């Protein structure tokens, strides 16, 4: 009898060890990082569109902290993701737009999040779209690289969905295509149909909902769930860092019909707008290529209007697809979170849900990403850190994607230098931990506002001060273009950014304050500074500004009392008693 009892107890303890595999050490929590592509604030947890349906994100938010004012640092895929995974601003590295990030002299000498977690003993796994340009050596294992499918195959090549009218469909297989995954191919050429795979194409069998093949996003969610189960059952104690990159709602927005059925086009509400809202904005005047009609956002809007006979019908058609894509990716997000819960990992796994940037849905005559307005720059950011974050709470303090890396270092007690050598750069962001423990206070070591940059074209390459900039505080959005033109929006009274207040003398002091907050971070360039009417002495780049900001909040960091904060003093004080940076 005693023998059987001991055997039962042994098996019970062994089972617990398997259930709580991966890591059960609270100082070395697991991390699940979920990032979507082109996902703006339309998720119902943010209220960006009243008809958005994202029940899985809403459910997750009840156990996490929702950041109401989280922003992209560069509202286009490649530079945004390079900045997220290195923790370095585009203007610090001069990786401003579409160059391969791992060829950049600063970034290639700095450790990515993945490299730093590996260095700290984590198993680093990933799948889907994480970095825009994938570097396999950063990962312990990687399942699938970026796949924008399902896409339409016309029998010879990838092409736009044939049910999207021209001229919008002439844009091409990626940006010019959206719609449900139709099962009937009547009237289409032999061999036409849906495919997925980027480089190694596969036919998508879409015979019925019950038996159909999974989409790439669904396959990535399935693999992530299996990986979490595998690590939960692993008897080792190695912690896991898992990054899952979902492509939707990025174009081509092709998802199953069931998601489109949730949004009948005749009942759709257009995003709120006013006539001539573009008239007091200055993107077109600041960038010659934009003014000449080469900018995608203005061009796509016009083509959609032409294709559907009116801007209202065109935006409704695209909006329906976007909302369907958001609903589909919400289900994928929920499946990954369920796997954390179902495998007994919830008590020691940090989960972050976010996006690389947002999307303008026809506001100001613009249909694309890559503007400095709210809809393009704002992103979802929901974080659950067991034992630290306050369940169901929201914080109004502006943060940005640059803060993800230092937050994870802080929460996971990672040790070491994030630079590979002196040619690398220190992290630019700040830990959001204080906002997780006390969301309503707004107290943290970071700045009052979030910084976003729009690339101003090849002629201004590698000159940060010649780019276009935005600074978003809790109440205001300030924009300054590289020709000195400004926009200022008061979100307390104008949440849709309809009324540009920049010409009102009443706000001159505020504009000067925000302009200084931007340009004090940038490398000095006399010609560019004169263009935007900035008077300042030449100074070091961004990190110096944030060090000075930190010193104002923590004068005790000046260990030798000489009235200035050196970099060694900054690093020592920021690490704290645990030696955590």
Three-state DSSP string of 250-264: CCCEEECHHHHCCCC
Among residues 510, 506, 507, 542, the alpha carbon closest in space to that of 524 is found at 542
Q: Quick one: pLDDT at residue 569? A: 73
For the stretch 381-392, pLDDT in tens is 999 999 999 999
More confident residue, 336 or 184: 336
Q: What is the pTM of this model?
A: 0.90
The H or E element that residue 60 is part of is helix 55-61
Residues 6+ apart with CB under 8 A from 375: 40, 41, 48, 271, 358, 359, 360, 361, 363
More confident residue, 581 or 106: 106
Q: Looking at the chain, how many residues does it have?
A: 581
Instruction: Tell me the CB-side half-sphere exposure of residue 403, using CA atoms within 13 A.
Output: 28
Q: How far apart are the first and last CA of the chain?
A: 54
pLDDT of 472 > 50? The answer is yes
The H or E element that residue 36 is part of is strand 30-36
Q: Quick one: pLDDT at residue 35? A: 98
Say if strands 450-454 and 468-472 run parallel, antiparallel, or are unpaired: antiparallel
Concatenated DSSP letters of 462-483? T-GGGSEEEEE-SSEEEEE-TT
Query: Rounded CA gap, 292 and 95, in Å?
Result: 26
Query: Rounded CA gap, 84 and 403, in Å?
Result: 8
Query: Rounded CA gap, 187 and 195, in Å?
Result: 18
Mean pLDDT score of the chain: 89
Say if strands 240-245 and 30-36 run parallel, antiparallel, or are unpaired: parallel
Distances (CA, A) of 493 to 44, 114, 274, 329: 22, 42, 15, 32
For the stretch 4-32, pLDDT in tens is 444 444 444 344 444 345 656 777 999 99
The angle at the Cα of 297, spanning 272 to 329, to the nearest 5 degrees, equals 70
Q: Quick one: pLDDT at residue 7? A: 42
Q: Is the dihedral of CA 23, 380, 39, 91 positive or negative?
A: negative
The percentage of the chain sitting over the pLDDT mark of 70, rounded to a whole number, equals 87
260 within 8 A of 143, measured Cβ to Cβ:
no
Q: Quick one: pLDDT at residue 362? A: 96
The percentage of the chain sitting over the pLDDT mark of 90, rounded to a whole number, equals 74
Give one word for 240, left, alpha or beta, with left for phi > 0 and alpha for psi -120 to 50: beta
For the stretch 201-254, pLDDT in tens is 899 887 665 678 999 999 999 999 999 999 999 888 899 999 999 999 999 999
Q: Quick one: pLDDT at residue 24? A: 65
Distances (CA, A) of 157 to 147, 369, 485: 16, 27, 44
For the stretch 139-162, pLDDT in tens is 999 999 999 999 999 999 999 999
Among residues 175, 304, 165, the alpha carbon closest in space to that of 251 is found at 175
Residue with tokens 């016309």: 154
Q: Domain-by-domain residue ranges, the chain?
A: 27-539
| CATH code reported for the domain at 27-539 | 3.40.720.10
Q: Helix axis angle, 216-233 relative to 2-19, nearest 10°?
A: 140
Helices (H) and strands (E) in the chain, counts: 18, 23
* Secondary structure (3-state) at 388: coil
Q: Helix axis angle, 404-412 relative to 77-86, nearest 10°?
A: 30
Reduced to 3 DSSP states, what percent helix, strand and coil does the chain have, rounded to the nearest 5?
Answer: 40, 15, 45
Q: Helix axis angle, 296-308 relative to 311-342, nearest 10°?
A: 110
Asked which of 77-86, 94-103, 349-358, 516-525 is least confident by mean pLDDT, the reply is 516-525
521 within 8 A of 541, measured Cβ to Cβ:
yes
Task: Provide the edge-to-edge strand list for the sheet that holds 399-400.
Answer: 378-379, 70-71, 399-400
The angle at the Cα of 549, spanning 544 to 550, to the nearest 5 degrees, equals 95
Query: Rounded CA gap, 418 and 492, in Å?
Result: 39
pLDDT of 408 > 80? The answer is yes
The H or E element that residue 6 is part of is helix 2-19
For the CA atoms of 56, 57, 62, 63, what is the dihedral angle to 10 degrees? 90
pLDDT of 308 > 90? The answer is yes
Residue with tokens 């000046």: 558
More confident residue, 164 or 7: 164
């Amino acid at each position: 009898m005693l023998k059987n009892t001991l055997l039962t107890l042994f098996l019970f303890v062994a089972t617990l060890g398997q259930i709580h595999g991966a890591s059960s050490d609270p100082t070395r929590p697991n991390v699940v990082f979920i990032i979507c592509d082109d996902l703006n604030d339309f998720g119902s947890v943010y209220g960006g569109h009243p008809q958005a349906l994202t029940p899985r994100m809403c459910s997750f938010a009840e156990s996490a902290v929702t950041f109401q004012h989280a922003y992209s640092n560069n509202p286009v895929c490649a530079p945004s993701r390079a900045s997220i995974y290195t923790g370095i601003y585009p203007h610090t590295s001069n990786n401003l737009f579409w160059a391969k990030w791992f060829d950049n002299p600063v970034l290639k000498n700095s450790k990515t999040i993945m490299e730093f977690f590996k260095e700290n003993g984590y198993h680093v796994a990933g799948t889907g779209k994480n970095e825009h340009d994938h570097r396999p050596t950063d990962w312990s294992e990687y399942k699938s690289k970026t796949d924008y499918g399902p896409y339409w195959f016309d029998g010879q090549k990838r092409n736009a969905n044939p049910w999207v009218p021209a001229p919008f469909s002439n844009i091409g297989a990626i940006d010019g295509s959206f719609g449900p995954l139709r099962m009937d191919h009547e009237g289409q050429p032999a061999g036409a149909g849906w495919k997925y795979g980027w480089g190694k194409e596969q036919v998508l069998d879409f015979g019925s909902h019950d038996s159909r093949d999974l989409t790439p996003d669904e396959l990535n969610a399935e693999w992530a769930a299996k990986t979490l189960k595998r690590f939960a059952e692993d008897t080792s104690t190695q912690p896991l860092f898992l990054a899952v990159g979902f492509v939707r709602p990025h174009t081509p927005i092709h998802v199953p019909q069931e998601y489109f059925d949730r949004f009948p086009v005749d009942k759709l509400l257009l995003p709120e707008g006013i006539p001539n809202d573009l008239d007091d904005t200055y993107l077109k005047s600041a960038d010659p290529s934009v003014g000449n009609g080469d900018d995608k956002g203005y061009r796509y809007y016009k083509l959609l209007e032409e294709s559907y006979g009116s801007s209202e019908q065109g935006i409704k058609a695209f909006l329906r697809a976007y909302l369907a894509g958001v609903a589909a990716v919400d289900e994928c997000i929920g499946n990954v979170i369920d796997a954390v819960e179902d495998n007994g990992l919830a008590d020691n796994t940090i989960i972050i849900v976010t996006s690389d940037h947002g999307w303008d849905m026809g506001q100001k005559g613009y249909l694309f990403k890559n503007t400095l307005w709210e809809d393009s720059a704002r992103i979802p950011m929901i974080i659950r850190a067991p034992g630290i974050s306050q369940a169901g709470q929201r914080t109004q303090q502006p943060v940005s994607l640059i803060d993800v890396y230092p937050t994870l270092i802080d929460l996971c007690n990672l040790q070491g230098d994030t630079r590979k050598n002196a040619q690398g750069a220190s992290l630019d962001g700040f830990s959001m931990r204080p906002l997780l423990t006390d969301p309503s206070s707004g107290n943290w070591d970071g700045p009052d506002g979030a910084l976003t940059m729009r690339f101003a074209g090849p002629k201004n390459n590698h000159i940060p001060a010649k780019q276009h900039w935005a600074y978003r505080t809790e109440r205001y959005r300030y924009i300054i273009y590289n020709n000195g033109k400004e926009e200022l929006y008061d979100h307390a009274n104008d949440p849709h950014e309809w009324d540009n207040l920049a010409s009102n003398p009443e706000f001159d002091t505020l504009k000067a304050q925000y302009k200084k907050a931007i340009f004090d971070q940038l490398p000095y360039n006399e010609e560019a500074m004169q263009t935007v009417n900035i008077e300042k002495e030449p100074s070091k780049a961004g990190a110096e500004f944030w060090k000075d900001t930190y010193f104002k909040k923590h004068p005790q960091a000046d260990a030798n009392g000489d009235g200035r904060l050196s970099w060694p003093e900054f690093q020592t004080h920021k690490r704290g008693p645990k030696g955590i940076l």
